[in-house]
Structure 1
Amino acid sequence: MNLAIIPARGGSKRILHKNIKPFCGKPIIAYAIENALKSGIFDEVIVSTDSVEIAQIAVRYGARVPFMRPENLADDHTPTLPVIAHALESQQVRDEDLICCLYPATPLLPTHYLTQAHRILCQDERIHYVFGALPYAHSPWRSFRLDSIDSESMEFSESIARVDSNAHSSNKHSTESFAPTLLHPEFERTRSQDLAALYHDAGQFYFARARSFKAQIPIFAPHSRALILDPLHAHDIDTSHDWQLAELKYQILHPKSR
């Protein structure tokens, strides 16, 4: 059995009702459900949620909601792997069944990434996970932290600065400034084209055999494989600004949707 599981809790705080908020004309979770169904890979598409409203919308778009997620797996600090493991416990899955954890806020993700990940996983039983990765827009080898410093006394604060653009723009007369400290000073004079490329989790999907999810084996390790995604096809949506940028990307990808 091939199963897609979409984890969609109802208690989002940074963007209220994020998983069902309208995105370019329909609830954002609808894109993930339709993408999974369109792929032709999955026998079922299941939504794991603690929200009756999300469950109703998920069913409307073709998913199944065979259980409600318990409260202890629906708070701000619950990681993904226990949520998927719980979903698998409620279904009759075999260890060798193929499972895709597909996040609900993935409206930009083309279907071919899911089919490609499925193919990679099927080709080698030693692989635990296949997931999407993105290259950093700017090399982290040149990154620096900002330490708070009083420009009049030139004394450093013990805490690393937390830059709030709104706070600083509204306080134009503040004497507070920030001093950079390179995290990798050994690369200060290295040409940018000579720095090793680094990537991060795109936060779109994780494909694995059920046994890997059940055992909650760590994802980011040599036993996994990463698919490098086009940055236009993935966007981390955590703020209203992120939401607006993601909608602009969607309109570029789907000009007829405007």
Structure 2
Amino acid sequence: MKLAVIPARGGSKRIPRKNIRPFHGKPIIGWSIEAALASGRFDRVIVSTDDAEIAEVAKGFGAEVPFMRPADLSNDVAPTGVVVQHAVQWHQQSGMAIDHCCCLYATAPFVTPELIADGFDRLVGSEADFAVSVTSFPFPIQRACRIRDGRLQMIDPSAYLTRSQDLDERFHDAGQFYWGRAQAWTELRPILGEATLPVIVPRHRVQDIDTQEDWERAELLFGALARQEM
């Protein structure tokens, strides 16, 4: 079985009720559920939540909520990997064999069915543990600085005279989806590392949403993309 797990706890602090807050005409979690269903890669799309309202919204978009997430996995320090591990093991203990599982964030309105499908296809065609959405940094991180005692300090002074085009491109987690083999999830293997394949997402389709400023930027970017695609 190929399983999609969308973690969506009810106690978000920086943006209250973030997972079901309206975003361009629907609760934001609806975009993730619809993308998962449209990808054609899942036998089951579930939402792992501790919140009854989120559960009802999720069901309204076609996801299943086969269990309510335990309280010890619903605080703001519970790692995502442990939440997905719980979902995989719950299915296994219920007699369902899970081969692959994808963790898809509830606040990922820019994710597309095609990217999700591409991640799965890359994973099954390899010996990797995971296939993860990543995007490139917009500026060479080798030129990063910190501020110490009010003054700039290069973290890597050796890169000072190197041309930008001669510096290696670097990538970071796009915060959209994480395909993995069931055993990799249950063993809590590292998601970012040599056993992981990258699924590169264009920078204009990536926006982390943790603060109100992030949310407003995401709405503007989403609207611009929607107008472009009309």
TM category (shorter chain) comes to over 0.9
Q: Which amino acid aligns with 2:13?
A: K
SS of residue in 2 equivalent to 1:217: coil
How far the C-alpha of 1:257 sits from its partner, in A, is 10
Q: Which amino acid aligns with 1:200?
A: H
The CA distance in 2 between the partners of 1:26 and 1:89, in whole Å, is: 31
The CA distance in 2 between the partners of 1:253 and 1:111, in whole Å, is: 16
Cross-structure match for 2:146: 145
Deviations 1:100-153 (A, max 9, x none): 1000001111211111111111112x21000011111111101111123xxxxx
The CA distance in 2 between the partners of 1:10 and 1:243, in whole Å, is: 17
How far the C-alpha of 1:62 sits from its partner, in A, is 0.5
CA RMSD across the alignment? 1.5
The CA distance in 2 between the partners of 1:45 and 1:112, in whole Å, is: 16
Give identity over the alignment, percent. Answer: 42
* Structure 2 residues without counterparts, runs of 5 or longer: none
Cα contact 1:85–1:213 (8 A) shared by 2: yes
Cross-structure match for 2:97: 94
Partner of residue 153 from structure 2, selected from 164, 172, 181: 181
User: Does 1:59 pair with 2:54?
Assistant: no
SS of residue in 2 equivalent to 1:91: helix
Cross-structure match for 1:133: 134
SS of residue in 2 equivalent to 1:202: strand
The CA distance in 2 between the partners of 1:7 and 1:217, in whole Å, is: 18
Cross-structure match for 1:190: 162
User: Does 1:216 pair with 2:188?
Assistant: yes
Cα contact 1:251–1:257 (8 A) shared by 2: no
The CA distance in 2 between the partners of 1:254 and 1:244, in whole Å, is: 15
Cross-structure match for 1:165: none
Cα contact 2:174–2:208 (8 A) shared by 1: yes
Cα contact 1:108–1:232 (8 A) shared by 2: no
The CA distance in 2 between the partners of 1:71 and 1:121, in whole Å, is: 32
* Structure 1 residues without counterparts, runs of 5 or longer: 149-177
The CA distance in 2 between the partners of 1:120 and 1:2, in whole Å, is: 14
Cα contact 1:131–1:226 (8 A) shared by 2: yes
SS of residue in 1 equivalent to 2:101: strand
How far the C-alpha of 1:94 sits from its partner, in A, is 2.8
SS of residue in 1 equivalent to 2:193: coil
TM-score, normalised with respect to structure 2: 0.95
How far the C-alpha of 1:256 sits from its partner, in A, is 8.8
Deviations 1:160-214 (A, max 9, x none): xxxxxxxxxxxxxxxxxx2111100011111111111111111110001111101
Cross-structure match for 1:234: 206
SS of residue in 2 equivalent to 1:250: helix
Partner of residue 103 from structure 1, selected from 102, 105, 109: 105
Cα contact 2:91–2:97 (8 A) shared by 1: no
Greater Cα radius of gyration, structure 1 or 2: 1
Cα contact 1:8–1:104 (8 A) shared by 2: yes
Cα contact 1:19–1:28 (8 A) shared by 2: yes
Cα contact 1:134–1:200 (8 A) shared by 2: yes
User: Does 1:201 pair with 2:155?
Assistant: no
The CA distance in 1 between the partners of 2:194 and 2:229, in whole Å, is: 40
Cα contact 1:132–1:227 (8 A) shared by 2: yes
TM-score, normalised with respect to structure 1: 0.85
The CA distance in 2 between the partners of 1:245 and 1:257, in whole Å, is: 18
The CA distance in 2 between the partners of 1:137 and 1:255, in whole Å, is: 23
Larger displacement relative to structure 2 (28-37 or 85-94) = 85-94
SS of residue in 2 equivalent to 1:212: helix
SS of residue in 1 equivalent to 2:16: coil
How far the C-alpha of 1:255 sits from its partner, in A, is 2.1
SS of residue in 2 equivalent to 1:90: helix
Superposition pairs of residues 79-90 of structure 1, within 5 angstroms: 79-90=79-90
For these two proteins, the number of residue pairs brought into alignment is 227
